[in-house]
Structure 1
Amino acid sequence: MDYTDVYGVTSKGEQELRGSVTTISPPEVELLVRLDGVLTLAQIRQGMSAAALETFDDTLRMLVFKNLAAVVHPDSFAASRQFRFSAMALTRANAEADACAASLKNSSYYVRIAHKRALPPPRAPGQRLSAIVVDDDPLLSSFLSQYLTFEGFDVRVAGSRAEVVAEFRKPPRPDLVLLDVMLPDADGFDILLRIRAHPALKDVPVIMLTAKATRESVLKGLAGGANGYVTKPVEIDSLLEAVRTVVGPQ
């Protein structure tokens, strides 16, 4: 067994965990709840008791056999490789950075369409838009989620690197991302670059949330392909105007 592999819970496994009555053994339950699709088996094993480790391999094989767990293949969003700003992107963004910083000071938001968006995938009648709010402040995340819900979005929230990776792996693909510049264990600009490098996410509108509207911060966001900036504390009218601009008519 390769302990560098990452395992996640299947849809059948999710049903098993949510059910009022479980049909699997306690060791299987203990391991299944730890398979988050982010940590490797080696990392999971570090937090388990000696007794659980003795049956670890057999328990995992049984979960896979029952189609409750499966290997999660890493993608370009979760990869550990370093993403860097290109010199050309920095040069192009340099001229716009001053105007963006000035706009943030005057109106608390700045929007630009970084590139022409591909047509979004067709939605069934009545299907709502999807948004991901990436911010480690639970009160602010709840506040933003409520207003986005009123605007017709189904909202998912992530406040750490592990949660970000997990949420971006879940369907449906988001129609909007609100991305905090500073997270406790991740860099918002690095997340932005990973979004723009991912074939399925590269055209998703991203609005950066920032408490420090410095020119350097603005330059990084523009070079990374951000569609807009909104300053903290967030003024909801400015945020919603920015959202409507980057998402477009629906």
Structure 2
Amino acid sequence: MTDTFSQTPKGKAEFAAKPGKLTTGLKTLLGMVGDKATLAYLEIKLPQAPAEKIRAAIDRLVADGYLQRIAAPAPAAAPADNDLDFTRFINRPVKEPTLQQKRNAEMTIAGIRPSKKAGYHVNIINRPAKRIAPHAGGDKHTILVIEADDSHALVVTRALLLAKFDTRAAGKREEIIAELNKQPPPDAIALDVALPDVGGLELLGRLRDHPTFKTVPIVVMTATVDRDDVVAALAYGASGYMSKPFRPEAVVESVKAILGL
């Protein structure tokens, strides 16, 4: 597990001070750490900065007393076959994306310059090599829509139903856990990362660490088109990334693509 850091009282005071003693770059990094941040997270948020320079800057802030290392929790034991209940699994530590996953995500969006002001929207979909068969058998796939906005969830599920998919929906933590515990599992997940009581990217990371959902296609739906957020979602294992607003038909097209249809 990667190192985790937080601001010390001295660091909090320095970040609040104007102008303070630190250079602009170090102060920006100090602010990004805040109450808690991992080294892997900082490397994802600063894709243009060499990893060794980020580490050196963090080490300097630690040595000068502005940051402190947070002891990493003991690694969770691999779940037994009878320990896959998402009620417990959702509380497990989230594995940070590896540097290779980050590089792969960067390569995926190479050349894409998303910008709301310019009117562009991000729609990145990774199509599997072959069609993914439904877990329940037959020809009909089930899609779990995890969306906090009821009206948007209705639009998405209606579009999927019209396209002959079965759908399930959840928006709050307990609803999400209940749906993820149902059998058979969904064949694909449409995930809004702006959820009220659970971190969307953390949920994505836990899904990718769960044996049942490790390979289930997941398309992220979000209102942000910030490049770093796109990289983070893909690094955590998203099969696709769609920025809102989008046409309902676009969701259907994306779901079909991640299922290899």
TM-score (norm 1): 0.62
1:59 equivalent in structure 2: none
Distance in 2 separating the partners of 1:101 and 1:242: 20
Q: Is the 8 A contact 1:103 1:110 kept in 2?
A: no
Shift of 1:103: 9.4
Partners of 2:154 and 2:224 lie apart in 1 by 21
Percent sequence identity is 28
- Distance change (3 Å), C-alpha of 1:101 and 1:173: farther
Q: Which residue identity is paired with 1:120?
A: A
Aligned counterpart, 1:110 = 124
After TM superposition, the structure 1 = structure 2 runs for residues 233-248 of structure 1, keeping only pairs within 5 Å, are: 233-248=245-260
**Which residue does 1:205 correspond to in 2?**
217
- Note the aligned Cα RMSD (angstroms): 2.7
Give the one of 114, 117, 120 matched to 2:133.
120
Paired residue type of 1:151: A
Q: TM-score, normalised by structure 2?
A: 0.60
**C-alpha distance in 1, partners of 2:122/2:105?**
19
For the residues of structure 1 that align with 2:260 and 2:218, how far apart are their CA atoms? 13
Q: 2:196 aligns with which of 166, 184, 191?
A: 184
Q: Which runs of 5+ in 2 are unaligned?
A: 1-81
Sort the Cα spacing of 1:112 and 1:235 in 2 relative to 1 into closer, same or farther, 3 A.
same
Displacement of 1:118 in angstroms is 8.8
The answer (yes or no) to whether the contact 2:129–2:260 under 8 Å persists in 1 is no
Letter in structure 1 aligned against 2:126:
R
- For residues 148 and 176 of structure 2, what CA distance do their matches in structure 1 show? 11
Partner of 1:51: none
Aligned residue identity for 2:198? A
Amino acid paired to 1:201:
F
TM-superposed deviation, 1:112: 2.0
Which residue is 1:217 aligned to?
Answer: 229
2:241 to 219, 226, 229: 229
SS in 2 for 1:183: coil
Structure 2 letter corresponding to 1:181? V
Shift of 1:121: 5.2
Q: Who is 2:156 aligned against? A: 144
Superposed displacement of residue 96, structure 1: 2.4
In the superposition, relative to structure 1, how do residues 74 and 99 fare at CA in structure 2: closer, same or farther (>3 Å)? same
Q: Distance in 1 between matches of 2:215 and 2:84?
A: 22
**Structure 2 Cα separation of the partners of residues 155 and 195 of structure 1:** 19
Cα distance change of structure 1 residues 119 and 209 upon mapping to structure 2, 3 Å threshold: closer
1:100, distance to aligned residue in structure 2 (A):
4.8
Determine if the alignment matches structure 1 residue 159 to structure 2 residue 174.
Answer: no
> Which protein is richer in helix relative to its size?
1
Distance 1:121 1:139, change over 3 A: closer
Q: After superposition, what is the alpha-carbon deviation per residue over 1:135-193, rounded to whole angstroms, capped at 9, x for unaligned?
A: 11001111111111112222111111221111100012111111012111111111111
Task: Tell me the CA shift for residue 234 of structure 1.
Answer: 2.3
For structure 1, the residue ranges without an aligned partner over 5 or more in a row are 1-70
In structure 1, the residue matched to 2:143 is: 131
